[in-house]
Structure 1
Amino acid sequence: MLISRYERMIARRYLLPGRSEAFIAVVAGFSLVAVMLGVAALIVVMSVMNGFRAELFDKITGLNGHAVVQGYGGQLRDWRQVVADAKATPGVTDATPLIEQPLFASFNGRVEFAQVRGMRIEDIRANPALKGKEVLGSLASLQSGGEQVAIGSRLAESLGATIGSSISIINPSGATTPFGTMFRTVQYKVAAIFEVGVYDFDKIFVIMPLEDAQTLLLLGDGVSMVEIDTKDADKVGPILAPLVDKVGSKGQITDWRMMNRELFEALSVDRIVSFTILSIILVVASFNIVSSLIMLVRSKTRDIAVLRTMGASRAALMRIFITVGTAIGAVGVAAGGVLGFLFITFRAQVVQFIGLVTGQEIWNPQMRFLTELPARTDPFETIGICVMALLFCFLATLYPAWKAASTDPVQVLRYE
């Protein structure tokens, strides 16, 4: 919308009301602050939701892959052929044999539930979810047959174990005797303590070499599943479709969407609901802009009448008041963007400050899955939020601008 020089001058003067119009300035200030808070809240919440989903997805698929081929009965004997077929499938980047079994871990009389995972040494060292995540010790020290394991940091805290501690892994499915099934208990030395960043994983995972896991679970040369990574996680179904017929007699393919469907669906619904609720703040800010402009129009009725008699058109008056309202909204949007990015940048400090003030733990890893508050800003989404806010502000100016343009100068100046 192009405006002339005198229209810009008048709009600029109306943006800075005099002393007699201080109340109008206060209302306009409230409108600006409301727009700022609405934009900042939307940017922060959507960035946190995006970061939460992305971090959770990276952590889950980093340990579990984009899909797994699970053997029938919990065992996959011909796993080498499955790995070869998977790697030969277009779109598959890697296939990793592994053993995963829920067991128990014990140390100094403490017993905790543990998810024992057996992996080849080279796969342990190359796994992106584990690589560089050691808190103590090193994954490189794990050796096949060395009776060594790596455990999650939360599990280490629960057991009271540290580097060099000898923990016992208890397998309830042990040898069968005339007196019943005897638990199989094997001691392992803790060689590394890791923290992947997902509370549930750090609380239960015990990583050991594949051969040691086979010995512990009496699997011989078998594994329980083959983990598969693809080029595009969102297209995992079509990519693995040719593999279904090849491995159908050996095991069942389950992708990440099937394994975590409820979690990611809940995140999607929460994201939509949060966006809708927080958008109401922008609607309220728009009503504030309507109120401030209506009061401005009423206080400038005489000025409007004079401008009309001097030749100002109705369209010119509409442009003036639309410019005033949109300028308030634009400043609020810009300030909201700055405030939102500051909050995202210093989110850890903000969470700590709120926790100190309220005396409550704002980010509880046991409830939030992740150990720290994530954030990932989508530039296109941020631009969309700003455009939406500006659109609301623009629409809010139309009615007051139309009222100003509809002012009859004859009626206003009749008694002047």
Structure 2
Amino acid sequence: MARRTAPFSAFEFLIAWRYLRARRAEGGVSVMTWISLIGIMLGVAALIITLAVRAGFRAEFVDTILGSNAHVTVYSAPTEVVAGSGVFSRLMQDYEARAGRIAAVPGVTRAAPLIRGQVMVTYEDRSNVAEVYGIAEADLMTIPRVAHSEEALGEISRFGEGIALGSGLARELGVGIGDRVKLISPNGAKTAFGTSPRVSSYEVVYIFTAGRWDIDRTRLYMPFAEAQSYFNREGGADEIEVDVTDPERVDDWEIPLLQAGGAGTLLWTWRDASGSFLRALDIEDNVMFVILTVLVLIASMNITSGLIMLVKNKGRDIGILRTMGLTEGSILRVFFLCGAFTGVIGTALGLALGVVISLNMDQVMSFVNWLNGGDAWDPSIRGIYELPAKLQADDVIKAVGLSLGLSFVVTIFPARRAARLNPVEALRYE
């Protein structure tokens, strides 16, 4: 009785590798192998690049939100100013005590009273609308993307002497450090003849870049006491900005913050403001993953075509191998290895290509801009200034595992067909 060989023996790898190197007369098999290999390589690279860009975009987008905005905004429900007057206000008169109670909540890292308003900013013959944030200098220093901006101009330590502008707003107005701009608010001083607009002049002492196009183009910071006076909020605050240790779990702080804020306290989290956009990103990610999975599957199906052609061309060899004592299992493994080699090599090349492009996304985008003859990435539409890429180990493993799995699965059918080939029929007309 013939001794059975161990599965995937060295000779099975040798035969499979020799079959992949088709001779010139079997050029069709070689062409199909190359098509399969290139298709899998491009599919895997596209999948890795897409996953990296998706992760990078989401991380950068969330970082710009959390780095320049509050994780939770605390404000008051409307209350009647004078009983029976019918005039309601959201102004917090007890903002200092309320901010102190909120800051004492475990996990809260910042509780900053804030004045909010909108003004017209003018400089020489230019003007634009700005959203004013009245904030204390100590609280401004705790906003990472503003206080520690890499492209900042001026000195934030002089914030008490003037105002801070976003770089986009400063660029549109054409102002620099030391220039004085006028702020115009329609809700100014109240006189017997009505409310007159308020016009005040301030020196620009600090220009920041937060990394978000909409923030840099519209935001203006003003000292808290000055904002109280300018917007007629003496003795009060519009809201309290709150930061927590883990913004991804911000919902866990809702009940403690409501309890600390007291009666009439309302909350607005960063997820409430941007949750719909993030959910849209997740849906888009899932759709893109499915589409690219189909592309990898189509590329893998070329392996089936190539193996079917290889089995047809190697019918005589299969018959000879069977008569020499190779079992159906050995034949199946030989042709399985033929397809597996293509899948593994294509996946490895795709992995290398995808990683290289992901790590050099800035240069890739520069090349795309050069081809388009301009700016191919519009921050006014996408919010952030560049297309980031963030390689994550689980994304790479997911792409590689998917490619190898599909490559191995589609190889089974033609390999079984080769194993079941009758050696007598294969050699009858040879």
TM-score class, shorter: over 0.9
Shift of 1:3: 0.4
Report the 3-state secondary structure (helix = DSSP H, G, I; strand = E; otherwise coil) of the residue aligned with 1:161.
coil
Residue in 2 that maps onto 1:337? 351
Q: Which runs of 4+ in 1 moved over 6 A?
A: none
Letter in 2 for 1:15: L
* Alpha-carbon contact 2:145-2:211 (below 8 Å) kept: no
Residue in 1 that maps onto 2:179? 165
Residue in 1 that maps onto 2:139? 123
Residue in 1 that maps onto 2:9? 4
Shift of 1:20: 1.4
Identity among equivalent positions (%) equals 36
1:242 to 240, 243, 256: 256
Indicate how the Cα distance of structure 1 residues 199 and 224 shifts in structure 2: closer, same or farther if over 3 A, else same.
Answer: same
Q: Distance in 1 between matches of 2:287 and 2:403?
A: 18
Q: Distance in 2 between matches of 1:143 and 1:156?
A: 16
Q: Which runs of 5+ in 1 are unaligned?
A: none
Residue in 2 that maps onto 1:27? 32
State how 1:18-167 maps to structure 2 within 5 Å: 18-72=23-77, 73-133=89-149, 135-144=151-160, 146=161, 148-167=162-181
CA offsets, 1:232-261, max 9 Å, x none?
223211223122133242431111111112
* Alpha-carbon contact 1:355-1:361 (below 8 Å) kept: yes
* CA root-mean-square deviation: 1.7
Report the 3-state secondary structure (helix = DSSP H, G, I; strand = E; otherwise coil) of the residue aligned with 1:102.
strand
Q: Distance in 2 between matches of 1:134 and 1:2?
A: 60
Shift of 1:57: 0.8
Residue in 2 that maps onto 1:384? 398
Shift of 1:53: 1.1
Q: Distance in 2 between matches of 1:99 and 1:366?
A: 26
* Alpha-carbon contact 2:102-2:257 (below 8 Å) kept: yes
1:289 to 280, 293, 303: 303
CA offsets, 1:257-290, max 9 Å, x none?
1111221121111111111112221011111111
CA offsets, 1:136-166, max 9 Å, x none?
533433242x2x1111111111111111111
Letter in 2 for 1:38: G
Indicate how the Cα distance of structure 1 residues 67 and 327 shifts in structure 2: closer, same or farther if over 3 A, else same.
Answer: same
Structure 1 residues 325-334 or 70-79, which shifts more?
70-79
Report the 3-state secondary structure (helix = DSSP H, G, I; strand = E; otherwise coil) of the residue aligned with 2:221.
strand
Report the 3-state secondary structure (helix = DSSP H, G, I; strand = E; otherwise coil) of the residue aligned with 2:421.
coil
Residue in 2 that maps onto 1:13? 18
Q: Which runs of 5+ in 2 are unaligned?
A: 1-5, 78-88
CA offsets, 1:384-405, max 9 Å, x none?
1110111010111011101111
1:366 to 380, 404, 411: 380
Q: Distance in 2 between matches of 1:60 and 1:346?
A: 25
Letter in 2 for 1:376: K
Letter in 1 for 2:165: I
Structure 1 residues 113-122 or 68-77, which shifts more?
68-77
Indicate how the Cα distance of structure 1 residues 136 and 88 shifts in structure 2: closer, same or farther if over 3 A, else same.
Answer: closer
* Alpha-carbon contact 1:76-1:250 (below 8 Å) kept: no
Residue in 1 that maps onto 2:315? 301
Letter in 2 for 1:182: S
Residue in 2 that maps onto 1:415? 429
